[in-house]
Amino acid sequence: MGKVWNGVLALQAIHILTKSKDSNETEHSNLQRILHLLTGEALTDDQRQDLCKALKSDPQRAAGLDVSDEFRSKWLGKFSCPKEKAVFP
């Protein structure tokens, strides 16, 4: 898959994780498919950092798809996200 598509898919995954309605099954299925298509090596450092930040749980986030801790852990590992907690402004 080309760089452009990786960027588009990464951006879509970030949008689903941070802006989608809380428990939307269609969005959850879309997110699963997108994350399966993406590979960590194909992402730029900025894309990986943004995706990692979106994957980390933020109880103060007003929107975004609610996914399980198991789901988050799986994908945080796949994209080699740092272990420390994300700091949100």
Domain count, the chain: 1
Tell me whether residue 88 is in a domain: no
The pLDDT of residue 15? 92
pLDDT of residue 5 exceeding 60 = yes
Q: Is residue 85 part of a domain?
A: no
> Tokens at residue 66, please?
């609610």
- Does residue 83 belong to any structural domain of this protein? no
What's 40's DSSP letter?
G
For the stretch 34-85, pLDDT in tens is 999 987 778 899 999 999 999 986 767 777 888 888 888 899 999 988 876 5
Residue 23, pLDDT > 60, answer yes
Q: How far apart are CA 81 and CA 84, in angstroms?
A: 9
What pTM does this model have?
Answer: 0.82
Q: Are 17 and 57 in contact (CB under 8 A)?
A: no
Please give the pLDDT value at position 49. 92
Q: Is residue 62 part of a domain?
A: yes
**In a domain? residue 28:** yes
Residue 34, domain member (yes or no): yes
Does the pLDDT of residue 89 top 70, yes or no?
Answer: no
